[in-house]
Amino acid sequence: MGDNDKAKTFKLDKAISAVIVPGKKSCGHEKSGDAIYIDAKRKILALADGPERNPLASSHFLERFKSAIEEEKLKDLSFEKITGLANSLVHNTKYHDATTFSGVVLSDNSHTGILHAGDSLVFKIKSGSGEITQLSRTNHVLIGRSQKLFQTGTVSVDPDDMIFLATDGFIELSRCYGCSPKEFLSRCITDFSPAALIANILQFLSSIVVRLDDIALIAVCPKALTSIKSRKNANIILKG
């Protein structure tokens, strides 16, 4: 069972809700291998899942990514530029520091950038219909074992839609309820808001009696994020 009382959380008005819930402790490690990066001003959200033998690899990569982003001028920070920065970091990541990485770069139009390597999940939840589309392509490519990200590019996301990111602990949780991740996610959608979605998932998690893997979750509504006047202080890394 995930330790919900030890969860690390982040919320930004009605726009973003994120959480890391520690799960099983393996190989004597006391740290979760999951980490989250949120830069609300630049509209960049990402998560990573490090291996049991080096659980800090995830947060270390996100810290490097955050530093690389902050060194660039905001006005010049196109999705192509962000992709180049990420791939440069991937190319220079050592084998021992292998980790998954999944991120989204939101824009003011209908295009959202995807940066992805590994088995974490990125979904789009359609406003109104609740239709769910998986945006990430699941793969076995890890940062530190490849020269570049497995998947990069833009997809169509309406401002009213919701984006959901999850590490592979969400897959384990889904299986506990006899569902695919997509099917389980649909069961967790009630009130169409990031906070409600994360709260519902945590409620399902609290009923599990076996110890699952760590779980990192991010839900974001692009339109709500755009409408927030001040986002300059919402630039964080959550570590499990």
Q: How far is the C-alpha of 26 from the C-alpha of 132, rounded, in Å?
A: 33
Residue-level pLDDT at 174: 97
Q: CA-to-CA distance for 40 and 233, rounded, in angstroms? A: 8
Structural domain total, the chain: 1
What is the model's pLDDT at position 228?
Answer: 85
Residue 83: its pLDDT value, please? 97
CB atoms < 10 A from the CB of 41, how many?
15
Phi, psi of 83 (to 5 degrees): -60, -45
pLDDT of the chain along its 240 residues, tens only?
456 778 999 999 999 999 999 986 544 445 679 999 999 999 999 999 999 899 999 999 999 999 999 998 777 789 999 999 999 999 999 999 999 999 999 988 889 999 999 999 999 999 999 999 999 999 999 999 999 999 999 999 999 999 999 999 999 999 999 999 999 999 999 989 999 999 999 999 999 888 889 999 999 999 999 888 777 668 999 998
CATH of residue 211's domain is 3.60.40.10
> What pLDDT, on a 0 to 100 scale, did the predictor assign at position 24?
67
Residue spans of alpha helices (H) in the chain: 57-70, 79-91, 169-176, 181-188, 194-206, 222-227
Q: 166 near 181, Cβ under 8 Å?
A: yes
Give me the torsion for CA of 60, 45, 85, 133, rounded to 10°: 120
Look at residues 128, 193, 129, 140 and name the one whose alpha carbon lies nearest to residue 164. Answer: 193
Structural contact between residues 188 and 200, judged by C-beta atoms closer than 8 angstroms:
yes
Kindly report each contact of residues 63-68 with a partner whose C-beta sits within 8 Å and lies 24 or more positions away, as own/partner: 63/237, 64/89, 65/37, 65/89, 65/101, 65/103, 66/37, 66/39, 66/235, 66/237
List the domain range (segments joined by +) for residue 103. 4-239
DSSP character at residue 211? -
- Three-state secondary-structure class, residue 143: strand
Q: How far apart are alpha carbons 42 and 67 in whole angstroms?
A: 13
Say how far apart CA 96 and CA 149 lie, in whole Å: 17
Q: d(Cα 106, Cα 151) in Å, to the nearest integer?
A: 16
